[in-house]
Amino acid sequence: MDNDQRQSTDSNLLVELTAEVVSAYVGNNPVAATDLPSLISQVHSALGRTSESGEAAAAEKPTPAVNPKRSVTRDYIICLEDGKKFKSLKRHLMSHYGMTPEEYREKWGLAPDYPMVAPSYAEQRSRLAREMGLGRKPGTKVRKKS
């Protein structure tokens, strides 16, 4: 698709979106007939600005705080957003950035199996769970190492 066709398609989409927004607004709010051209113009220009800023934002690829290949060590994981070290990254991502682990992996182009917990911490938690007898059927005895 060449540039002229893309602009024509974008323009048609912008007109359709403008019509939908104005239609929904007029359907739920009293608007004088003399105010309609102004409303249409305002909505059209607002949507146009939104699509332009969206294209600019899509063109800018984020730069990670550290190299993703060096972000996982035995004792901690380094957040690519801010460069801080954590044993578990999931809570930090949600509380500071409002991101799920899946969104984080997608944003930075990480593999689906990219860890959210430091390997040594995962081993420690796994060992503790086994010692407590978690994951066993009821009635089985917990064997302790001598």
Is residue 82 a contact partner of residue 92, using CB atoms and an 8 Å limit?
Answer: no
90-108: pLDDT as tens digits = 999 999 999 999 999 999 9
> Is the same domain home to 7 and 37?
yes
* Rounded mean pLDDT, 113-131: 96
34-82: pLDDT as tens digits = 999 999 999 989 888 876 655 555 556 789 999 999 999 999 999 999 9
Other beta carbons less than 10 A from residue 36's beta carbon: 12
pTM higher than 0.75: no
> Is the same domain home to 42 and 89?
no
Total count of domains within the chain: 2
Closest to 90 (Cα-Cα) out of 77, 71, 75: 77
Q: Is residue 94 part of a domain?
A: yes
Task: Write down the pLDDT at residue 52.
Answer: 63
* Rounded mean pLDDT, 1-21: 77
Residue 116 lies in domain:
68-132
Q: Is residue 137 part of a domain?
A: no
Q: Is residue 36 part of a domain?
A: yes
| CATH code of the domain containing 81 | 1.10.10.1550
Phi-psi label, residue 104: left if phi above 0, alpha if psi -120 to 50, beta otherwise: alpha
